[in-house]
Chains A and B, each alone.
Chain A
């Protein structure tokens, strides 16, 4: 038998032991990039096999044309405005109802069923209904975005509030901390993770809502433009808009949520 000793490597040794390029290749950003490359290659392959799948070249060409026609910015601006208002409303209302639901059993009993019903109604139904109710214009996409997203925010926040530490709630009530301060300093920070998850859902689900409402509403915007190309049987133009949506969602997610999450959880990551 040979005597073996377990040697622990110090962080300095670990850093100098692996070459820089190797660390970069095995990093998380590298994994992300690998996905994008793979997805792109699959797309190229599918386009080569099927006539009705437009390839990257065709889509880029349509996108460039759409830009040069000046259609992109004005339509996206419309969509963004509707989307932002709808998401903002759903977050404000969802937070309020979610906090109330989480704090009071009575409120929970009251709101539980409508929220469940709301969760089960797909965006496309709201898109149809709001176009019927409000006609063409900003109202239908805003209301669709709001109605699609708000149940997700509510359910997430309510769950978070119910999970707030009993000990901290008892501490607050024994010191007679006023309700407003309790919500601001105890409840909201405690549910920050749930709120972020809820807002993230709201953003992604909200995109569905706004695009569908524009698709049927015919009042301009990204969804309207995508339908225009779809109706014209121009799949490259249609795909160009789909790609634009996807890029916007990914960028929003990375820029806003990663940052918001890092900021909200500074206290957890602080070194000793």
Chain B
């Protein structure tokens, strides 16, 4: 598990140019322990940018951001992207090993364990192109879990999938997550999905400010069909109604 601290975070693309585009505006939050946090907001509000800053692919303009492991070691992170992002010329198993520190026996066993967990134990030697989109996304999820990350980061991992596959994967994700102690930051534009999965929902508004920080206190395991889940989903949706009509503002940097 990990401690993620984000403090006074700003991100402006093209800062100092006439095209300056502020995407994240004074973001602060902490996540620690076995928590499942969702970041929700309309498309273009800066969710992916925030994740890219956490993962180090993108630099922030100002503010602090730190990820530490509970045990004081450098935090390991796992990522699941919107699309599977597999190397098409490597087998499923080699794709899993590609992001591992080592390729020893123990790592191989771990890779097999997580492939089994997502139901692809027999597909290790397949090429990604031989799997369906949903199966490829499961490989992406297994790959992230197999690095045994302290912090797991997921960017709309189910948004490209059909509803039936997405539902099955959401349930699978909850099961794997509750067995393994991990801090999760999960991005989605789907409030319904966020309520089903999360302990806490951070809502971003257009322009990249935090709009609301909602705690979801429901027993697990949750299923999409639970009435309690459905009730809370409706309630959260109603609270977010107020955000409707907010124009995505393109504000220049100060």
Interface residues of A (CB under 8 A from B): 167-168, 170-175, 177, 181, 185-186, 189-190, 192, 267-268, 270-272
Contact = CB atoms under 8 A, between A and B. Distances in A.
Contacts of A167: 81, 83, 85
Contact of B56 (A173, A181, A190, A192): A173
Contact of A175 (B83, B88, B94, B99): B99
A271 B131 CA distance: 11
Contacts of B129: 267-268, 270, 272
Contacts of B130: 270-272
A239 to B, nearest CB: 44
A174 B87 contact: no
Contact of B90 (A171, A189, A192, A268): A189
Contacts, number: 54
10 contacts: A170-B85, A171-B79, A171-B85, A173-B56, A177-B98, A185-B94, A185-B98, A189-B89, A267-B129, A272-B129
Given A173-B57, A177-B99, A270-B129, A185 B147 contact: no
A168 B79 contact: no
B159 to A, nearest CB: 15
B88 A174 contact: no
The 5 A-B residue pairs with the shortest CB-CB distance, nearest first, are A175-B99, A174-B55, A189-B89, A171-B85, A267-B89
B131 to A, nearest CB: 9
Interface string B63-98: 000000000000001110101010111100010001
A175 B79 contact: yes
A96 to B, nearest CB: 21
A168 B85 contact: yes
B127 interface: yes
A192 B89 CA distance: 10
Interface residues of B, number: 21
Contact of B87 (A173, A189, A192): A189
B95 to A, nearest CB: 9
Contacts of B83: 167
A186 B98 CA distance: 9
B11 to A, nearest CB: 16
B146 to A, nearest CB: 11
A189 B86 CA distance: 13
A22 to B, nearest CB: 34
Contacts of B57: 170, 173-174
Contacts of B127: 267, 270
Contacts of A172: 98-99
B89 A171 contact: no
Given A167-B81, A170-B57, A174-B57, A181 B87 contact: no
B90 A174 contact: no
A168 B90 CA distance: 13
B99 A186 contact: no
Most buried by B among A170, A171, A270: A171
A270 to B, nearest CB: 5
A181 B79 contact: no
Nearest to B94: A185
Contact of A174 (B79, B89, B94, B98): B79
Interface string B103-132: 000000000000000000000000101100
B56 A174 contact: yes
A175 B140 CA distance: 12
Given A174-B79, A175-B99, 7 more contacts: A167-B81, A171-B81, A172-B99, A174-B56, A185-B87, A189-B89, A267-B90
Contacts of A171: 79, 81, 85
A174 B57 CA distance: 6
Contacts of A170: 52, 57, 85
Contact of B88 (A177, A181, A268, A272): A268
A268 B90 CA distance: 11
Contacts of B78: 175
Nearest to A185: B98
A185 B85 contact: no
Contacts of B56: 173-174
Interface in B176-219: none
Nearest to A178: B101
A89 B189 CA distance: 53
A271 B52 CA distance: 35
A181 B90 contact: no
Contacts of B77: 174-175
A181 B85 contact: no
A189 B81 CA distance: 22
Nearest to A190: B89
A172 B90 CA distance: 14
B87 A175 contact: no
A171 B80 CA distance: 9
A185 B55 CA distance: 21
